[in-house]
């Protein structure tokens, strides 16, 4: 990860028509170039590869909306599906025949008695739907004129076929000429007719044969279903790769539509933005990569490329949340790795909570390969997982600030032993037994020898956790700390702007922008930080009562009047007046300096430095040098271009007002570090007092059992409120401070991000860019 965006160049690729698809595919695997549209005036529906994109969209629609089973049945398993359907129908017929023989066995005796009187009559049996029984019986009566005997009973098993859910036995007594008419009527009512054996021996043989055939069919169907399951399982494993392959094909054809053909239509010409450091890799690719790469001059502003890895990608996303920097501009991302977690930890300082957050992030980091393989669809979880290294750094910094605050789940840790001693108060006869009996609150006097032996080795002394004025002490400490951190943070952002001015060889901005901004900030708020440190160092415990209020002195500084209180140091009034005058003089320089200089330069004045940056191509290219103008007021040819003084002055006035007012408001805005830290500590203390203390105070044997649900509630509230809600709140406030007070000082956020043609970014990035 670099401190400045990569140097880019515009290259021209010549692709043969036959191998263009393979070349673009390999470029997508490499992810080195961003293609330019060489057909901006051609409609999307009139480009050469529109039909191929439509076919890809149709296949994508099929894979996305239709079930995998239907696709396999229609394409690959149609014959197997047809055979399975035939087997199921045969099994259904045999099952119906079995039920019919079992139920009609009792009607055979009735047939033998009727046959003795009318030997010409015959017995017909079958199955029919229950809802059609009444209509079928009416039809038989009318056709046979009453010469029928109809008996029916329901099948006790539900059959799979939709046409024969319920069965009926039909006993028909008719002459042979009516037999053909009845068969036609049976089929019109979807009756399934089956032959019935004449004797019991034949019936038994048929039943045995039916059982054997049914068993064989069931085995065949079971094996067919196993085969289908195996095929579907293999297909489901390949479904994701099928979808990605279709998306890749569609993306390749989209890139081919951006290219233009030569006059012979045998060669495709593409223009790409490529990092200069990767140009050699592009030329030394495999055989399928085009070997002819020509670097061409261009006056267009290249896209911004800031390289990142899995550790820095999250911090780079934080920087780009407010915009992409200009080409070759300094990147705040390397500094964000430290500053952003630190600002978060100042508001979230707790050793216990930071440890829980660190363990959670460490678990995600150690098992990141498994999580990537699972591809979870939960967007909330994906967001947390993508920011696992940010959470890890925030947790580690929270552990550090928790040690500084000496705060662990709202309790202090006595690691090195307190530097305050109660024994010295009795030894020096400051306290007696009567003092203990008559005073509910006692005050340790650090002026007494032996009471205070020195500062705590790391962080705040644990004795403050028992003090009544603990909140007053911490408020003063954290409020001053927030102001110090804020001024240092803003000053660091202003100082980083020098690197941009020096890189672009804009020396006038150092004198007319950087120095006035830095003087205005340090003469006012830098002096406030100086007074804080001076008060800490100049006033000891013995004369602490004489220490004046810094806020009163700071207000009197703007009023340019002498304070009624004791001055901090000799000559304070003179120095403060000088600093205020310097800060006020910086404002007109900041307001008029740049517009007047550009106006003077536009009318032929002498410049303060070199304002043109010459970027030459590699020596093996025969193209001329590339001249890139970085200075306002100059044209690409070196001469003056049209200059609007009013427009430049208006923009500079907006910048001046925003900066001067922002220094005041942003310094006050850093007090949120104090407010959020206080809120987090107080919520943690309230949660401990109202939940855990109830379980710890029970002295009976049931107290251990009662402690289990109490600890569960405490853990649940700690995670949901203090870690998740408070953590998100501190994250958002740190994000705001990081942009407005630091990143905005030198980072424009108005550039265009380098968007390489990269298959590893499928499918999210291409969908967001509208390519798919």
Q: What is the pLDDT of residues 205-264, one digit of tens each?
A: 777 887 888 878 878 877 877 877 777 677 666 677 778 888 889 889 999 999 988 777
Residue 368 predicted with pLDDT over 50: yes
pLDDT per position as a tens digit, 25-41: 888 888 889 999 988 88
- Residue 174 is predicted with a pLDDT of 38
Residue 359 predicted with pLDDT over 80: yes
Q: How far is CA 85 from CA 78, 224, 376, in A?
A: 11, 11, 37
Q: Peptide bond before 763: cis, by omega within 30 degrees of 0?
A: yes
- Lowest mean pLDDT: which of 180-184, 483-487, 698-702? 180-184
Cα angle 690-691-692, degrees, rounded to a multiple of 5:
120
| SS (HEC) of 610-637 | CCEEEECCCCCCCCCCEEEECCCCECCC
- Banded pLDDT at 722 (limits 50, 70, 90): very high
Distance CA 483, CA 478 (A): 9
- Residue 616 is predicted with a pLDDT of 35
- Lowest mean pLDDT: which of 316-325, 628-637, 757-766? 628-637
Domain 97-110+119-214, classified CATH 3.30.70, yes or no: yes
% of the chain beyond a pLDDT of 70: 77
CB atoms within 10 A of CB 369: 8
- Banded pLDDT at 639 (limits 50, 70, 90): very low
- Residue 170 is predicted with a pLDDT of 41
DSSP class per residue in 500-569: HHHHTT-HHHIIIIIHHHHHHHIIIIIHHHHHHHHHHHH--STTGGGPPPHHHHHHHHHHT---SS--SS
Q: At what angle are helices 351-366 and 388-405 packed, to 10 degrees?
A: 160
Distance CA 55, CA 52 (A): 5
Tally the C-alpha atoms within 13 A of residue 124's C-alpha that lie toward its C-beta.
Answer: 22
Q: The tokens 């390949």 sit on which residue?
A: 238
- Banded pLDDT at 118 (limits 50, 70, 90): very low
Tokens of 330: 């300094």
More confident residue, 299 or 145: 299
Tokens of 87: 């087997």
Strands of 233-292, DSSP E: 260-261, 267-275
- Residue 613 is predicted with a pLDDT of 38
Q: Are 392 and 361 in contact (CB under 8 A)?
A: yes
pLDDT per position as a tens digit, 168-193: 444 333 334 444 556 556 666 667 77
Give start and end residues of each alpha helix (H) in 406-514. 423-427, 433-438, 470-503, 507-509
Kindly state the helix (H) or strand (E) to which residue 22 belongs, with its residue range: helix 20-30
Residue 588 predicted with pLDDT over 90: yes
3-state secondary structure of 270: strand
- Mean local confidence (pLDDT), 630-646: 54
% of the chain beyond a pLDDT of 90: 25
The DSSP bridge pattern shows strands 260-261 and 170-171 to be unpaired
Q: At what angle are helices 645-669 and 572-602 packed, to 10 degrees?
A: 150
Q: How far is CA 364 from CA 100, 209, 341, 376, in A?
A: 65, 63, 18, 13
Tokens of 80: 């197997």
- Residue 424 is predicted with a pLDDT of 83
pLDDT per position as a tens digit, 516-527: 999 999 999 999
SS3 content of the chain, % helix, strand, coil (to 5): 60, 10, 30
Q: By C-alpha distance, which of 126, 123, 106 is closest to 115?
A: 123
Q: The tokens 């004129």 sit on which residue?
A: 145
pLDDT per position as a tens digit, 679-694: 999 999 999 988 888 8
Distance CA 241, CA 254 (A): 20
- Lowest mean pLDDT: which of 175-184, 349-358, 374-383, 540-549? 175-184
Distance CA 185, CA 140 (A): 9
Across all residues in the chain, what is the average pLDDT? 79
- Banded pLDDT at 553 (limits 50, 70, 90): confident
Which residues 6+ apart lie within 8 Å of 239 measured at CB? 63, 68
Q: Peptide bond before 409: cis, by omega within 30 degrees of 0?
A: no
- Residue 176 is predicted with a pLDDT of 41
Residues of the chain with CATH 3.30.70: 97-110+119-214
Distance CA 345, CA 343 (A): 5
Task: Please count the residues of the chain.
Answer: 772
Strands of 62-204, DSSP E: 125-127, 149-150, 167-168, 170-171, 192-194
pLDDT per position as a tens digit, 595-624: 999 888 888 767 665 444 333 333 333 333
Task: Report CA torsion sign: 647, 649, 654, 655.
Answer: positive
């Amino acid at each position: 990860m670099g401190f400045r965006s990569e140097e880019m160049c515009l290259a021209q690729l010549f692709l043969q028509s036959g191998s263009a698809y393979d070349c673009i595919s390999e470029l997508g695997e490499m992810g080195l170039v961003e293609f330019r549209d060489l057909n901006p005036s051609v409609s999307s529906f009139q480009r050469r590869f529109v039909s191929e994109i439509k076919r890809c969209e149709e296949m994508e629609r099929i894979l996305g909306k239709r079930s995998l089973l239907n696709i396999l049945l229609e394409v690959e398993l149609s014959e197997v599906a047809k055979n399975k359907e035939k087997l199921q129908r045969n099994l259904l017929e045999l099952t119906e025949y079995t039920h019919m023989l079992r139920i009609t066995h009792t009607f055979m005796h009735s047939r033998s008695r009727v046959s003795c009187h009318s030997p010409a009559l015959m017995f017909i049996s079958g199955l029919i739907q229950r809802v059609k029984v009444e209509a079928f019986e009416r039809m038989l009566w009318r056709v046979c004129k009453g010469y029928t005997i109809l008996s029916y009973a329901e099948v006790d098993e539900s059959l799979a076929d939709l046409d024969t859910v319920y069965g009926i036995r039909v006993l028909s007594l008719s002459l042979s000429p009516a037999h053909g008419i009845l068969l036609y009527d049976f089929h019109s009512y979807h009756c399934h007719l089956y032959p019935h054996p004449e004797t019991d021996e034949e019936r038994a043989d048929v039943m045995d044969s039916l059982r054997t055939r049914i068993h064989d069919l069931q085995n065949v169907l079971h094996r067919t279903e196993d085969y289908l399951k195996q095929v579907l399982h293999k297909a489901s494993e390949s479904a994701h790769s099928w979808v990605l392959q279709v998306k890749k094909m569609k993306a390749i054809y989209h890139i081919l539509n951006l290219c233009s053909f030569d006059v012979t239509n045998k060669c495709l010409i593409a223009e790409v933005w490529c990092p200069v450091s990767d140009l050699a890799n592009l030329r030394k690719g495999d055989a399928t990569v085009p070997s002819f790469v020509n670097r061409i001059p261009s006056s267009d502003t290249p896209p911004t490329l800031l390289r990142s890895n899995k550790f820095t990608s999250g911090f780079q996303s934080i920087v780009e949340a407010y915009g992409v920097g200009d080409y070759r501009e300094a990147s705040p991302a390397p500094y964000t790795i430290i500053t952003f977690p630190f600002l978060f930890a100042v508001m979230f300082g707790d050793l216990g909570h930071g440890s829980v957050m660190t363990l959670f992030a460490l678990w995600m980091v150690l098992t990141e390969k498994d999580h990537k393989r699972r591809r979870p669809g939960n967007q909330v979880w994906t967001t947390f997982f993508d920011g696992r290294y940010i959470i890890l750094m925030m947790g580690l910094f929270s552990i550090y600030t928790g040690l500084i605050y000496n705060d662990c789940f709202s309790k202090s840790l006595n690691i090195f032993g307190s530097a305050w001693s109660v024994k010295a108060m009795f030894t020096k006869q400051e306290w007696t037994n009567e003092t203990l009996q008559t005073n509910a609150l006692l005050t340790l006097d650090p002026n007494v020898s032996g009471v205070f032996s020195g500062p705590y080795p790391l962080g705040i002394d644990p004795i403050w956790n028992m003090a009544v004025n603990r909140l007053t002490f911490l408020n003063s400490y954290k409020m001053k700390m927030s102001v110090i951190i804020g001024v240092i943070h803003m000053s660091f952002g202003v100082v980083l702007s020098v690197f941009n001015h020096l890189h672009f060889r804009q020396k006038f901005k150092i004198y007319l922008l950087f120095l006035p901004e830095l003087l205005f900030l340090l003469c006012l708020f830098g002096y406030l930080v100086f007074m804080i440190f001076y008060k800490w160092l100049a006033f000891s415990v013995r004369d602490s009562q004489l220490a004046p209020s810094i806020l009163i002195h700071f207000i009197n500084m703007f009023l340019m009047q002498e304070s009624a209180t004791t001055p901090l140091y000799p000559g304070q009034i003179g120095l403060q007046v000088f600093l205020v005058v310097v800060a006020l003089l910086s404002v007109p320089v900041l307001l008029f300096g740049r517009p007047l200089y550009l106006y003077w330069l536009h009318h032929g004045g002498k410049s303060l430095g070199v304002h043109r940056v010459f970027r030459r191509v590699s020596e093996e290219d025969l193209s001329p040098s590339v001249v890139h103008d970085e200075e306002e007021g100059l044209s690409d040819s070196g001469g003056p271009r049209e200059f609007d003084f009013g427009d430049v002055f208006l923009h500079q006035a907006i910048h001046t007002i925003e900066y001067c007012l922002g220094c005041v408001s942003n310094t006050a805005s850093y007090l949120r570090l104090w407010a959020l830290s206080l809120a987090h500590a107080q919520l943690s203390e309230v949660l401990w007092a109202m939940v855990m203390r109830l379980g710890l105070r029970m002295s009976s044997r049931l107290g251990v059992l009662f402690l289990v649900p109490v600890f569960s509630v405490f853990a649940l509230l700690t995670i949901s409120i203090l870690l998740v809600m408070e953590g998100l709140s501190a994250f958002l406030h740190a994000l705001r401070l990081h942009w407005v007070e630091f990143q905005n000082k030198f980072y424009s956020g108005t550039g265009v991000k380098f968007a390489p043609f990269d298959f590893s970014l499928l499918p999210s990035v291409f969908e967001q860019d509208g390519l798919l």
